[in-house]
């Protein structure tokens, strides 16, 4: 099981796998119109240039500036109970509390440097950051924590802790205002993935001097102790690379959301599946073309003819970029995944009415349900892939373990034992602390479930040292 898209966990109702573009959203007609416009633009592109790579189609579906799933106004609420799916930080604050312990252990491992960057890449609405801060890690108490949220979607960035709201706008200038950075060079078109990941053009920014001398109090959002929070676009990483901090790059369920291509094994080689127009407006189909050598170079050759596998070059590039960012520390990615060969075994034949069906490693999410066709109504659902663990480690090998194992190694059992005690001491009172303790116990069940989030993979790269 991947990102929780439909289950009874923590109050998210399971509903039948029937999807409609309009159901359950605040502005269904607006969403439908955006989807139709995006479908028209994609069809025009295909009319001009012929079938497009799947990565280009997925990039548009997720990140097109006006119609992409994460870029629409409603994209700000993509995750969470009111959104379309649950990630580990959205289950509740426990995941962030355990990560705060892990972060302290990595900070100590490096000798407690005076400045320690924690870069949450693909931060979504900033839920993990809120939980991390609420857990009050020692590196924050020591004034060392520099928390940076890197998020592509303006709708999501607007929800980050420390972002100006109408009530606190007058204090906003005291904060690290990284939106000014993002305006300077964020590419207007997101069609070229490499343009997003190579931000070297920004290396001239005086980023170092942008850390406030005095850490900013984020009391309005309840974040204590004081830390600096930058809610930024993808424009920041080049500037960060110049800083080359000691620290940690975190990526929770980011890599599965980076655009991917699809290769199909034939008796004597590989084909690439590309996206073409379908039989009706708003519907797309797949067509096979000869695969360029560079597309399939990293794929295992010994797969059965007919197997369809994801090619994850953007995720591989992300790993390489993240390694350039830090002088020393860790890169830690949490995601669902398996080897390319195992993913090949999850692919079956397409169905007559859905050419994109049968890809057991591709998941869609909408309204906490899966099974939405990703080749219909572009932009209307999340599209995610199981991570091909061999491909993302092709250049840098990671230490890999299960999420449950990682959480146990960093003290989840202690936190849950303390919560159980608090619950039994206060359950009769039934106050907020008692309820928080009770909720922590059920969060742990979801996070450790071996058939759910506990079975996710944690890839842990050590940089420098
Ligand atoms: C599934 S969400 C995960 C959000 C959050 N990490 C969580 O666990 O709830 C993936 C997020 O990554 C963002 N994203 C995708 N590509 C990105 C990139 N190249 N740089 C920064 N953010 C990106 C998306 O906009 C989306 O908010």
Q: What's the pLDDT score for residue 321? A: 85
Number of domains in the chain: 3
248 and 286 inside one domain: no
274 and 380 inside one domain: yes
Q: What's the pLDDT score for residue 258? A: 95
With beta carbons less than 8 A apart as the criterion, state whether 235 and 204 touch: no
Once rounded to an integer, what is the mean pLDDT over residues 291-301? 94
109 and 246 inside one domain: yes
Residue 1 lies in a domain: no
pLDDT confidence band for 29 (50 / 70 / 90): low
User: What is the average pLDDT value for the chain, to the nearest integer?
Assistant: 78
Could you read off the pLDDT of 250-284 as tens digits, one per residue?
999 999 999 999 999 999 999 999 999 999 999 99
pLDDT confidence band for 184 (50 / 70 / 90): very low
**Atom 13 of ligand 1, nearest CA residue:** 122
Which positions ≥6 away from 360 have C-beta within 8 Å? 343, 346, 347, 348
Torsion of CA 263, 264, 267, 268, to 10 degrees: -20
Task: Say what percent of the chain tops pLDDT 70.
Answer: 74
**Atom 14 of ligand 1, nearest CA residue:** 122
Q: What's the pLDDT score for residue 230? A: 52
Once rounded to an integer, what is the mean pLDDT over residues 305-313? 95
22 and 135 inside one domain: no
What is the Å distance from ligand 1's center to 78 Cα?
A: 10
**Atom 11 of ligand 1, nearest CA residue:** 122
Closest approach atom of ligand 1 to CA 314: 19
Would you state the structure tokens that stand for residue 51, as one six-digit string?
Answer: 């079938």
Q: Is the pLDDT of residue 19 over 50?
A: no
pLDDT confidence band for 163 (50 / 70 / 90): low
With beta carbons less than 8 A apart as the criterion, state whether 337 and 389 touch: yes
Highest mean pLDDT pick, 48-52, 86-90, 153-157, 363-367: 48-52
Burial class (CB in 10 A: 0-12, 13-18, 19+), 381: buried
453 and 308 inside one domain: no
Q: Which residue has the higher pLDDT, 444 or 167?
A: 444
What is the residue whose two structure tokens read 């066709």? 373
Once rounded to an integer, what is the mean pLDDT over residues 163-168? 49
Q: Is the pLDDT of residue 447 over 50?
A: yes
309 and 177 inside one domain: no
What is the Å distance from ligand 1's center to 422 Cα?
A: 35
Residue 399 lies in a domain: no
C-alpha–C-alpha distance, residues 329 and 17, integer Å: 43
Q: Is the pLDDT of residue 193 over 60?
A: no
Torsion of CA 352, 337, 96, 368, to 10 degrees: 10
Residue 4 lies in a domain: no
Residue 422's region, left for phi above 0, alpha for psi from -120 to 50, else beta, is: alpha
Would you state the structure tokens that stand for residue 368, as one six-digit string?
Answer: 């906490």
* Best CA proximity match to 150, nearest among 250, 258, 221: 250
Q: What's the pLDDT score for residue 365? A: 86
In the three-class reduction of DSSP (H, G, I as helix; E, B as strand; rest coil), residue 45 is classed as helix
Q: What's the pLDDT score for residue 406? A: 98
Among candidate residues 252, 276, 293, the one where a domain is terminated: 252
**Within 13 A of 345's CA, how many CA atoms are on the CB side?**
6
CATH number at residue 349: 3.40.50.12710
Please count the other Cβ atoms lying within 10 Å of the Cβ belonging to residue 267: 7
Could you read off the pLDDT of 58-78 as tens digits, one per residue?
999 999 999 999 988 766 667
Once rounded to an integer, what is the mean pLDDT over residues 30-54? 95
Closest approach atom of ligand 1 to CA 256: 1
Among candidate residues 234, 252, 270, the one where a domain is terminated: 252
Could you read off the pLDDT of 345-377 as tens digits, one per residue?
988 777 777 788 889 999 998 877 777 899 999
Q: Which residue has the higher pLDDT, 313 or 429?
A: 313
Q: Is the pLDDT of residue 190 over 70?
A: no
**Atom 4 of ligand 1, nearest CA residue:** 124
SS (HEC) of 338-369: ECHHHHHCCECCCECCECCCCECCEEEEECCE
Residue 324 lies in a domain: yes
CA-based end-to-end distance of the chain: 36
The residue range of the domain holding 433 is 404-463
Which of the residue ranges 117-121, 221-225, 239-243 would you say has the lowest mean pLDDT?
221-225
Residue 42 lies in a domain: yes
pLDDT confidence band for 160 (50 / 70 / 90): confident
Residue 360 lies in a domain: yes
> Strand (E) positions, 183-268?
228-232, 246-252, 261-265
Highest mean pLDDT pick, 26-35, 126-135, 211-220, 390-399: 390-399
C-alpha–C-alpha distance, residues 328 and 331, integer Å: 10
Q: Which residue has the higher pLDDT, 148 or 107?
A: 107
pLDDT confidence band for 217 (50 / 70 / 90): very low
Ligand 1 binding pocket mutation candidate from 64, 160, 254, 318 (most atoms within 8 A of CB): 254
Among candidate residues 365, 392, 419, the one where a domain is terminated: 392
In the three-class reduction of DSSP (H, G, I as helix; E, B as strand; rest coil), residue 130 is classed as helix
What is the Å distance from ligand 1's center to 221 Cα?
A: 22
Which positions ≥6 away from 86 have C-beta within 8 Å? 3, 4, 5, 9, 10, 12, 79, 80, 368
213 and 171 inside one domain: yes
Which of the residue ranges 177-181, 264-268, 384-388 would you say has the lowest mean pLDDT?
177-181
Once rounded to an integer, what is the mean pLDDT over residues 108-127? 92
Residue 397 lies in a domain: no
Q: Is the pLDDT of residue 27 over 90?
A: no
Closest approach atom of ligand 1 to CA 384: 1
What is the Å distance from ligand 1's center to 153 Cα?
A: 8
What is the Å distance from ligand 1's center to 306 Cα?
A: 32
pLDDT confidence band for 240 (50 / 70 / 90): low
359 and 300 inside one domain: yes
C-alpha–C-alpha distance, residues 68 and 378, integer Å: 8
Q: Is the pLDDT of residue 170 over 50?
A: no
Residue 220 lies in a domain: yes
Q: What's the pLDDT score for residue 236? A: 54
25 and 50 inside one domain: yes
* Best CA proximity match to 99, nearest among 123, 79, 70: 123
**Atom 23 of ligand 1, nearest CA residue:** 122
Residues with beta carbon inside 6 Å of ligand 1? 70, 79, 87, 89-90, 121-124, 127-128, 150-153, 156, 196, 234, 252-254, 257-258
C-alpha–C-alpha distance, residues 178 and 276, integer Å: 39
Closest approach atom of ligand 1 to CA 88: 8
410 and 434 inside one domain: yes
pLDDT confidence band for 432 (50 / 70 / 90): confident
Once rounded to an integer, what is the mean pLDDT over residues 224-242? 51
Q: What's the pLDDT score for residue 437? A: 86
Q: What's the pLDDT score for residue 107? A: 97
Q: What's the pLDDT score for residue 115? A: 87
Helix axes 432-448, 94-109, angle to 10 degrees: 70
What is the Å distance from ligand 1's center to 70 Cα?
A: 8
What is the Å distance from ligand 1's center to 122 Cα?
A: 3
DSSP code of residue 210 = G
235 and 96 inside one domain: yes
193 and 62 inside one domain: no
């Amino acid at each position: 099981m991947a990102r929780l898209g439909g289950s009874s966990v923590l109050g998210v109702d399971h509903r039948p796998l029937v999807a409609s573009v309009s159901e359950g959203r605040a502005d269904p007609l607006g969403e439908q119109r955006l989807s139709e416009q995006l479908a028209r633009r994609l069809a025009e592109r295909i009319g001009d240039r012929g079938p497009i790579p799947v990565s280009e189609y997925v990039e548009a579906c997720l990140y097109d500036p006006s119609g992409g799933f994460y870029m629409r106004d409603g994209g700000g609420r993509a995750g969470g109970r009111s959104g379309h799916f649950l990630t580990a930080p959205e289950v509740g604050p426990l995941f962030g509390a355990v990560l705060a312990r892990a972060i302290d252990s990595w900070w100590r491992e490096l000798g407690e440097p005076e400045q320690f960057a924690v870069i949450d890449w693909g931060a979504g609405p900033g839920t993990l950051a809120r939980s991390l801060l609420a857990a009050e890690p020692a590196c924050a108490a020591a004034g060392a924590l520099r928390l940076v949220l890197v998020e592509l979607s303006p709708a999501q960035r607007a929800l980050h802790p420390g972002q100006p709201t109408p009530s606190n706008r007058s204090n906003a200038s005291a904060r690290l205002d990284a939106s000014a950075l993002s305006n300077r060079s964020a590419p207007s078109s997101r069609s070229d993935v490499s343009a997003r990941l190579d931000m070297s053009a920004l290396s001239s920014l005086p980023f170092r001097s942008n850390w406030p001398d005095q850490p900013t109090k984020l009391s309005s959002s309840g974040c204590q102790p004081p830390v600096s929070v930058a809610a930024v676009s993808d424009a920041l990483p080049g500037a960060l690379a110049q800083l080359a901090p000691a620290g940690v790059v975190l990526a929770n369920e980011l890599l599965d959301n980076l655009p991917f291509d699809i290769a199909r094994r034939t008796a004597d080689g590989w084909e690439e599946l590309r996206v073409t127009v379908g039989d009706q407006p708003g519907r797309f189909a797949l067509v096979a073309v000869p695969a360029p050598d560079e597309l399939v170079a990293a794929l295992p050759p010994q797969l059965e003819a007919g197997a369809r596998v994801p090619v994850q070059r953007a995720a591989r590039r992300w790993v390489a970029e993240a390694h350039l960012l830090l002088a020393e520390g860790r890169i830690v990615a949490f995601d669902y995944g398996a080897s390319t060969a195992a993913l090949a075994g999850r692919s079956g034949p397409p169905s007559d009415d859905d050419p994109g069906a049968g890809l057991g490693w591709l998941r869609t999410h909408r309204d906490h349900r899966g099974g939405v066709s990703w080749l219909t109504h572009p932009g209307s659902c999340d599209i995610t892939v199981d991570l091909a663990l061999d491909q993302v480690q092709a250049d840098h090998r990671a230490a890999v373990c299960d999420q449950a194992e990682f959480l146990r190694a960093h003290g989840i059992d202690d936190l849950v034992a303390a919560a159980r005690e608090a619950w039994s001491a206060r359950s009769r009172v039934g106050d907020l602390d008692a309820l928080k303790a009770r909720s922590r116990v059920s969060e742990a069940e979801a996070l450790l479930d071996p058939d759910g989030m506990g079975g996710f993979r944690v890839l842990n790269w050590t940089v420098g040292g």
